[in-house]
Each structure stands twice: as structure tokens, then as C-alpha cells.
């Protein structure tokens, strides 16, 4: 009896010293490393999809092709249980746009611009332009009537020269504030240089907004700001767009857990993209990495203790529609309690560490990373702890589920400048970086699902609220309508 107790105690102490890890993961990680290094299909399949499909806009014919492409790819990798998870959403696609700007209403010149998604199906407005700086609420509160019946000009991100600590908001939240304060339209200035035009949703709800929203280039925008300091400027915005209810589909495949099959680790990334380019970076590198993580673990016939569920979300760009639908369905059928962790890959490239929304994950993640580091010394094994919004982890996080993924990755600034723009094409993709995403993330996903114990639990509603307040996320969630607390 004494020997049995001693063995159990020493075994427990050994696992604690490993951060609840397993020494046998070293051999498994070596298998993963060899398989991905030799046979990764992530770069190849993203290139093929970019060529054959093009953009992957939710609700479009291209979007449907992308859903089927991912489904068929997972099937070809041996997943017999691949399924579609349909959800309804309000689709949107751009039509015509004319933006004229000048000193006089009858003497205005064409301005290069792009429509922001969920702008009205038809709109024609003319009004004086008002400069609202960064477009955050503080800019309006100093003069609450300043934007009424005007066309707001605001900067995406934070203007150079803004006070230290100035917080930014998502473009949709800046649009929501313009609407709140009575604006007739909004012109957002892209932060990236070189005349790049950015698209993306201007709606916090994924539904049509009542005013037209457009984006202009940085250089044109800063020149317009300067002109407004000298004399009034007027704008005319005319646009047509298309909208209607459609059915989109998340794509889901799973590997059943050997010991706790009813517990899940969700590994996800959004498959959809905007329509100006092929969306190779946002989020081809993430979603096709997720597909290859699934391929790798399936090919090696690895079966962790918990179920691994791989999800390609649609509708992320229009307001996290696919991940919200996933979580809503899981709440409705009671399976939300099965989700023990969610790993999200959105524009992840060549991560050098791991991240989590919960600090209690550090010991386990650091142990996993230490084993990765033994295989590849370029992996720095950093741990980043924090929370944010505007990607598919958000609906899970708001339900208290721990979320995480890769951290300390790298994308060249020239690549980042093409975010949501017409230059987001496959030639930007870094093959080695994408392969590293698959290597390291396969190891993390497997080990997290196979851990003797996941060291963090789902937060209570009160704990979620406190975490969001502590991280200054109450304001954007109130603006978006996602704040459910009093």
C-alpha cells in the first residue's frame, strides 16, 4: 500500500513539475516535425485555392466554392465525419461608388475611395465634411452637435501626434459613433501608406448601416485634413450595393478523444475573406494552416485524450458571424460545456511562442514550448497573456472559455499594409513561416488536448465581466451591442 501511494505521489509531482505535461510528447513532437517538414500541404493548397477560387467572400459564389474546397480537402485527408454547419446571415457585396470632394458643392472632383461593407444598398448624400480626428467618443463629447448632418472624416487607427495612451476603435465602432452623433456619412482614412484602400465591415452587428461609409488613402486623407483647417470642404457620396439573407457554412472535422471524448479543444480560423483580392494573408495563412494541422494529426494517427475539433469559420469579416453561430448552437444544444479551450489562427505566421487569455495556462504552454524548442531552437518559447476582440475567439471568450494560439509571429510591414486591401494576394505568403505555423501549432493543439489536466477552467459570467472591464473592453462591446451586463 505504501509503495502504491508513493508511486502515485511521485507520478503526480512529476506531472506538476512538467506543467501538467507528458514526457512522451517529445517523441510525438518529433513525428509531427518530420511529417510537416516533409509533407506539409498548407502553402500548396492555399496557392491552389487562390488560383482556382480567388476571394472567399461570405455569401458569394466564391464563398460557396471555398466552403466546398475545405470540405473536400478534409475528406481527402481521411476525415469521414466532415460536416457543414449552416447559418443564415445578411450578405453584402459592393456595387457602384462615386465620391466627389471640393470646396463648393457644384465644383467637386472625383476622389479615389472604396465602399466599406454593410453600407446601404443605395445612398446619395451631400454635406459638409467635419474632421473628427481619431473618431473615438472623446472626439465627439467635446462638441456633441459637431457631426450632426455632416460627413465625418476620421482616421483608422491613431493619428500621428495623438496624446500618449490614446485608444483606438474598430472601423465599425467608429462608424457606430458617427451614426450615434447624427452624421450623414463617414470617410475613414487608411493608416497604411502608398494610397492603399482598405475595405472591411462598417457594421457592428453584421447588418446594414443607415449611412454610407467609405475608405480613402492615407496621403489623400491627410491632405484633406490639412485643407479643412483652411476652408470648408464638401463631399458627395453616391453608391449602390447588394444585400440579402443567405446561408453560409462553417466546415467542421474532428478527431475523437481517447479518454475524454466529450471534452473538446476547438482549433479554428476563418476561411472567408474580403473581395478586393484573394485574402491570402487574411486569412488564408491561418485557415489553410488549420486544415494542415488537421491533416498532420490525422495522418500520424494521433489520438489525444480529448477530442480535437477543427473549424473553418465563414462570416468572420462581416462580424464574426460563423463563430457566433457556432457558439449560439453550442449553447442551445448544451455542448458549450464540452469546449475546454479554443485556439484561433487569424493571420498567424511563424509564431515564436504561445498565447492565452488566461495566465494559468503559462506552465503547460511553457512546457509544451520547451519541447518544441528542443526540436527547433528558433522557437523562443515566449508566453503572451492577454485578451482582445474582433476575431473568432471573441464569442468563445465572452462565454468564459479559455482561448489562445500562436504569438510573437512576424509579417513584414509591406504585407501588413495590404490588410483588407486589393494587394492581399498569394505572392505575399511566406512558405517557411506558414510551415512553422503548422509545425508548432500541431504540437500545441495535440498536447493541449492530450494534457493530463487543462490547468484553467471556464470563467463564470462575473469573472468574464471583470476581465473585460480590466482590459478596457467594455466600451467597444457596448458600442457593438455585445455587452450583456448591467
Q: Is the pLDDT of residue 110 over 90?
A: yes
| In-domain check, residue 6 | no
Judge if 107 and 145 occupy the same domain.
Answer: yes
- Domain end call among 189, 207, 242: 242
What pLDDT was estimated at residue 345?
98
List the CATH number of the domain containing 104: 3.50.30.30
Task: Give the C-alpha separation, 251 to 74, whole Å.
Answer: 9
- On average, the pLDDT of the chain sits at 95
Domain boundary among 213, 242, 271: 242
> b/e per residue, 45-81, with b = 16+ CB within 10 A?
bbbebbeebbbbbbbbebbbebbebbbebbeebebee
Whole-angstrom Cα distance, residue 271 to residue 80?
20
Please, how many CA atoms are within 13 Å of residue 110, restricted to the half-sphere of its CB? 4
Statement: residue 369 has pLDDT above 80:
yes
Report the distance separating Cα 111 and Cα 273, nearest Å.
25
Q: How far is 315 from 273, CA to CA, in rounded Å?
A: 8
Considering the domain boundaries, does residue 2 fall inside one?
A: no
Domain identity same for 282 and 431:
yes
User: pTM of the predicted model, to two decimals?
Assistant: 0.93
Residues 49 and 168 in one domain: no
Contact 62, 55 (CB under 8 A): yes
275 and 360 co-located in one domain? yes
Looking from the CA of 468 toward its CB, the CA atoms found within 13 Å total: 24
6 pLDDT higher than 50: no
223 in any annotated domain: yes
Task: Give per-residue pLDDT as tens, 147-171.
Answer: 999 999 999 999 999 999 999 999 9
pLDDT digits (tens, 9 = 90+) for 211-242: 999 999 999 999 999 999 999 999 999 999 99
Task: Give the number of domains in the chain.
Answer: 2
Q: Are residues 79 and 181 in the same domain?
A: no
Same domain as 225, residue 309:
no
- 433 vs 206, higher pLDDT: 433
pLDDT at 90: 83
Indicate the pLDDT class of residue 107, thresholds 50, 70 and 90.
Answer: confident
Per-residue pLDDT at 18: 52
Of 225, 242, 259, the one marking the end of a domain is 242
Encode pLDDT of 54-98 as tens digits. 999 999 999 999 999 999 999 999 999 999 999 998 889 999 999
Q: Is the pLDDT of residue 11 over 70?
A: no
* Beta pairing, strands 234-255 & 122-131: antiparallel
Please check whether residues 292 and 169 belong to one and the same domain.
no
Domain assignment present for residue 7? The answer is no
Residue 39's domain spans which residues? Answer: 23-90+246-480
Residue 486 lies in a domain: no
Residue 4 within a domain: no
Q: Is residue 121 situated within a structural domain?
A: yes
Amino acid at each position: 500500500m505504501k509503495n502504491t501511494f508513493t508511486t502515485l505521489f511521485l507520478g503526480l509531482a512529476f506531472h506538476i513539475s512538467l506543467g501538467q505535461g507528458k514526457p512522451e510528447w517529445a517523441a510525438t513532437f518529433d513525428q509531427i516535425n518530420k511529417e510537416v517538414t516533409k509533407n506539409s500541404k498548407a502553402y500548396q493548397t492555399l496557392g491552389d485555392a487562390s488560383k482556382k477560387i480567388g476571394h472567399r467572400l461570405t455569401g458569394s459564389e466564391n464563398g460557396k466554392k471555398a466552403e466546398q474546397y475545405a470540405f473536400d480537402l478534409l475528406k481527402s485527408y481521411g476525415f469521414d465525419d466532415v460536416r457543414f454547419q449552416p447559418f443564415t446571415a445578411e450578405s453584402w457585396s459592393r456595387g457602384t461608388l462615386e465620391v466627389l470632394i471640393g470646396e463648393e458643392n457644384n465644383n467637386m472632383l472625383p476622389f479615389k475611395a472604396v465602399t466599406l461593407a454593410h453600407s446601404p444598398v443605395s445612398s446619395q448624400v451631400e454635406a459638409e465634411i467635419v474632421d473628427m480626428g481619431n473618431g473615438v467618443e472623446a472626439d465627439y463629447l467635446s462638441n456633441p452637435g459637431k457631426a450632426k448632418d455632416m460627413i465625418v472624416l476620421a482616421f483608422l487607427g491613431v493619428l500621428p501626434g495623438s496624446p500618449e495612451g490614446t485608444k483606438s476603435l474598430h472601423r465599425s465602432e467608429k462608424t457606430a459613433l458617427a451614426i450615434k452623433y447624427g452624421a450623414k456619412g463617414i470617410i475613414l482614412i487608411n493608416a497604411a501608406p502608398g494610397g492603399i484602400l482598405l475595405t472591411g465591415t462598417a457594421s457592428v452587428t453584421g447588418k446594414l448601416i443607415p449611412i454610407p461609409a467609405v475608405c480613402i488613402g492615407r496621403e489623400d486623407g491627410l491632405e484633406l485634413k490639412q485643407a479643412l483647417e483652411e476652408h470648408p470642404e464638401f463631399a458627395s457620396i453616391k453608391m449602390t450595393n447588394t444585400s440579402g439573407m443567405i446561408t453560409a457554412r462553417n466546415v467542421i472535422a474532428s478527431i475523437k478523444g481517447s479518454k475524454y471524448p466529450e471534452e473538446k479543444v476547438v482549433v479554428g480560423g476563418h476561411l472567408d475573406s474580403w473581395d478586393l483580392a484573394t485574402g491570402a494573408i487574411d486569412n488564408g495563412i491561418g485557415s489553410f494552416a488549420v486544415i494542415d494541422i488537421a491533416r498532420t494529426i490525422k495522418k500520424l494517427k494521433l489520438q489525444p485524450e480529448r477530442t480535437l475539433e477543427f473549424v473553418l469559420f465563414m462570416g468572420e469579416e462581416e462580424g464574426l458571424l460563423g463563430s457566433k453561430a457556432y457558439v449560439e448552437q453550442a449553447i442551445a444544444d448544451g455542448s458549450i460545456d464540452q469546449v475546454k479551450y479554443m485556439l484561433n489562427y487569424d493571420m498567424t505566421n511563424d509564431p515564436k511562442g504561445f498565447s492565452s487569455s488566461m495566465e494559468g495556462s503559462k506552465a503547460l504552454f511553457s512546457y509544451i514550448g520547451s519541447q518544441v524548442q528542443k526540436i527547433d531552437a528558433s522557437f523562443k518559447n515566449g508566453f503572451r497573456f492577454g485578451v482582445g476582440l474582433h476575431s473568432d475567439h471573441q464569442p468563445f471568450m465572452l462565454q468564459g472559455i479559455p482561448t489562445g494560439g500562436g504569438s510573437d509571429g512576424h509579417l513584414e510591414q509591406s504585407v501588413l499594409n495590404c490588410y483588407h486591401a486589393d494587394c492581399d494576394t498569394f505572392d505575399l505568403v511566406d512558405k517557411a513561416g506558414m510551415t512553422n505555423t503548422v509545425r508548432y501549432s500541431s504540437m500545441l493543439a495535440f498536447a493541449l488536448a492530450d494534457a493530463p489536466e487543462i490547468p484553467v477552467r471556464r470563467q463564470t459570467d462575473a469573472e468574464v465581466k471583470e476581465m473585460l472591464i480590466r482590459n478596457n473592453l467594455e466600451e467597444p462591446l457596448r458600442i457593438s451591442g455585445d455587452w450583456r451586463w448591467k
